[in-house]
Amino acid sequence: MEETVIVKPEELHHLIQKKLTAAGLSEKHADIVAEHLVFADASGIHSHGAVRVDYYAERIAKGGMNRTPEITFEETGPSSGIVHGQNGVGQVVVLEATNYAIEMAKKSGIAAVGVRQTSHSGALSYYVRKAAQENLLALSMCQSDPMVVPFGGKENYFGTNPIAFAAPRKNGAPLVFDMATTVQAWGKILDARSKNKNIPDNWAVDASGKPTTNPHHVHGLLPISGPKGFGLMMMADILSGMLLGLPFGKHVSSMYNDLTKGRDLGQFILLIDPQRFTDLEQFKESIETMVTELHEIPPAEGFQQVYYPGEINQLNYEKYMKNGIPIEKNIYAYLLSDTVHFDQYSGADAFAQSGTGK
């Protein structure tokens, strides 16, 4: 991260909400997005925090995110349903879908909910965490624009398709694990570009499909662990795109191409009530035991301790919500300014430079 300023969560929330309402979003929807982005930055997921406001503001202002969607829930069975998002802002649509799914899973034990026509939904931890706070097990995944070369190929096909999982635990916040299925998220390449720093050769390939260490030459990202990440991103796309009759793979709409149109993206949410399988308190106790046992494992050379998967984000969240959140100086300056957006994304390809005012 570049030079940062420490911003109180309430101030960050207020500035984001103000910018999005200036772009034309309702106070209510802007409030939901602000809460989500503050959560992401506070968790240390800076690739999906305030850095996105400029892009969202441009898309909202240009009509590519529906400011007044009528979000509806079509129940297709006792444990299944489809949320029609009408290309509303992703954080609003997917939150509402998660709320429908929570209600359904509490009633029927399981909820498999697909979201049709949403926009970019941000950090998936946000949604699965909400479900786990209601004592449910949660899995969520989504498709994103094609930026990843398939294992063995040199042209992009799938997106960075993230997968997030959460479980309730006895003490403390839910256990949440959330990852893109690429070695690194696109945001990390942007970070290296802005610092003119080389990247490791297992992150990305250039236009000829060869591994590159130059962040400016990146033309495709690499899946985590070769064919295994490749398989996971395929799974996420089938469940969140194809299953809902939406474009899949290389046909998924681009983030930046046409900011006047909705992206028609999909998301998949699967919630399970542990009480249908085991005793809830015992289950939560077992998660606690697992966490303790993981913490007791001696660290390998070069490590200070074993963290449970996702713990680092939770530790950030606790610290930053209390002490203030580090935000890049140029992002903070943009949030304070009168500029609604920098008009820099429209027509850009997926590998365009992004960031605020850069």
Smaller CB separation from ligand NAI, 313 or 356: 313
**How many Cα atoms within 13 Å fall on the side-chain side of residue 252?**
34
* Choice between 19 and 120, CB closer to ligand NAI: 120
Does residue 174 contact residue 158 with C-beta atoms inside 8 Å? no
Residues 291-310 binding ligand NAI (CB under 6 A) are 307, 309-310
How far apart CA 93 and CA 84 sit, in angstroms, is 8
Among residues 58 and 273, whose Cβ is nearest to ligand NAI?
58
Active site residue 120: yes
Pick the binder of ligand NAI from 312, 315, 336, 352 (CB under 6 A).
312
Site string for ligand NAI, 16-45 (x = CB under 6 A): -----------------------------x
> Among 21, 144, 156, 356, which residue sits at the site for ligand NAI (rule: CB under 6 A)?
144
191 Cβ neighbours under 8 A, 6+ residues apart:
1
Residues 6+ apart with CB under 8 A from 5: 326, 327, 329, 332
Q: Shortest distance, CB of residue 232 to ligand NAI, whole angstroms?
A: 12
Catalytic residue, candidates 13, 48, 84, 120: 120
Please tell me whether residue 323 adopts helix, strand or coil conformation.
helix
Contact 316, 324 (CB under 8 A): no
Exposure b/e, 6-39, CB count within 10 A at least 16 = b: ebebebbbebbbebbbbbebeeebbbbbbbbbbb
- φ/ψ of 304, rounded to 5, equals -90, -35
In this chain, which stretch among 53-61, 68-76, 174-182, 281-289 interacts with ligand NAI, using CB under 6 A? 174-182
Q: How far is the CB of 254 from ligand NAI (least distance, A)?
A: 12
- 151 binding ligand NAI? (CB under 6 A): no
Contact segment (CB under 6 A) with ligand NAI among 158-166, 189-197, 207-215, 327-335 equals 158-166
Closest to ligand NAI by CB, 124 vs 239, is 124
- CA distances to 149, 222, 224 from 202, rounded to whole Å, are 12, 7, 9
In the range 95-134, which residues lie near ligand NAI by CB under 6 A?
A: 120-125
Binding site residues, ligand NAI, CB under 6 A:
45, 47-48, 120-125, 142, 144, 160, 162, 164, 177-180, 185, 307, 309-313
Give the residue numbers annotated as catalytic, written as ranges.
120
